[in-house]
Amino acid sequence: MGVVNRGSHRICRRRAPSEGILMKTWVCSQIIAWSVVIALCPFAVHAGDGQVSAAEVAAAVTPTSVSSVDSAPALASPPDPVPTSATDAASDTRIMWQGDPIPIGLKVQVEQRIDFPEPIAEISVPREIEQHSRIVLTPTGHLHWTANTPFASTRVLATSVSGSLYQLDVTARPDGVASGRIVLTDPVLDAAALAKAHTPDDRAKREQAAAQLIPKFLQQGAGAPSSDKPNYVTLSRFALAHFTGPRRLIPQLDAIRVAVRPMKTQAWLRVQSSALTLQPLAQWKAGDRYVTVLGALNRSAAEVAFDPRAFRGDVLFAAALHPMLGPRGSGHNQSVWVVITSQPFNRAFDHGTALSLDR
């Protein structure tokens, strides 16, 4: 029975049986649905009014855990391991060459590496074996061999760049054991390499021979350079540069110009004093040493060689720009010499003491 208000009139009508059935069906379905929700997702009820907010109902009926579980992707299976080669699977095998054929076992379809002691110039493999194998020989003596089919023991000859002949007995089997890299060693080559490593080369020999020709006063020791004073060569170059080139080419040196007095040649030069005239031109002090440049003039008609033993003084070092003085009138009878002393020039040659070059 239904009641409909239209203005001030009330109209009563009877509800059709089908509508009642539909209404009951809808109510029953809602009751069942809420019962399932309450059973699966119980929620707390406030003690105050006994009512549940819409947010709590929405949170309770939302199947969060179920959807997260259902939506989680399946774990991917780990990839298949990458197969490792024979070189990575096993360690190297070292075999010493002693003149006898070396047995080499190959596994079919597995590459085997063989390292020879030195580069190989030629390798001899039977044709029927070569047709059923993949063979690669590098310039450095590495042989990579892959047998495609089994074969019996076969003699293989490898000739090195030095002429050595290495013999291998190679066999291929399908059930063979894949080994790592095979390294062949030659005791003769190892001994030669060890001896060469401890023997100086040609350059070292030349340097040793040149070092033996250096005068004692230039070698490490007597007159050797130190950290606080220049050596003899540096002092000589510095002094001679003042008379042999432009000023810009004079080496930088912490030296002080010192006055020097002229002296008679006969007073400090023996033997050659009758043919030569020597006069001090300039003097410098560098540290505790004095370097003096001498002007040399040959007055004789013969050549005169530079000989530091002719000095009558306490000399540490002596050098000449030219080893020979030409005869008078040749145009080459003049040169400059240099002497290094431990005291001023005039004092070092004043007493005529014996020459000492080993100080």
Question: How do the domains of the chain map onto residue ranges?
Answer: 1-43, 86-190, 232-348
Architecture of domain 86-190: Sandwich (2.60)
pLDDT at 41 over 80: no
Structure tokens at 311: 């000095």
pLDDT in tens, 322-350: 999 999 989 899 999 999 999 999 998 87
Residue 184 CA to residue 318 CA, distance in Å, equals: 62
Residue 116 CA to residue 182 CA, distance in Å, equals: 9
150 neighbors 132 (Cβ within 8 angstroms): no
- HEC profile for 173-231? ECCCCCCCCEEEECHHHHHHHHHHHCCCCHHHHHHHHHHHCCCHHHCCCCCCCCCCCCC
pLDDT in tens, 99-145: 899 999 999 999 999 999 989 888 999 999 989 899 999 888 899 99
pTM: predicted TM-score of the whole model, two decimal places: 0.37
310 neighbors 272 (Cβ within 8 angstroms): yes
Residue 265 CA to residue 270 CA, distance in Å, equals: 8
Q: Which candidate, 323, 255, 266, places its Cα nearest to that of 290?
A: 255
Confidence band, pLDDT 50/70/90 cuts, at residue 233:
very high
Residue 100 CA to residue 212 CA, distance in Å, equals: 49
Q: What is the DSSP string of 329-351?
A: TSS--EEEEEEEESS-HHHHTTS
Can you tell me whether residue 70 is helix, strand or coil? helix
**The predicted structure's pLDDT at residue 259:** 93
Query: Percent of the chain at pLDDT above 90?
Result: 33
Q: Chain-wide mean pLDDT for the chain?
A: 75
In the numeric block, the tokens 């069942």 are attached to 32
pLDDT in tens, 65-91: 434 434 444 444 444 544 444 444 457
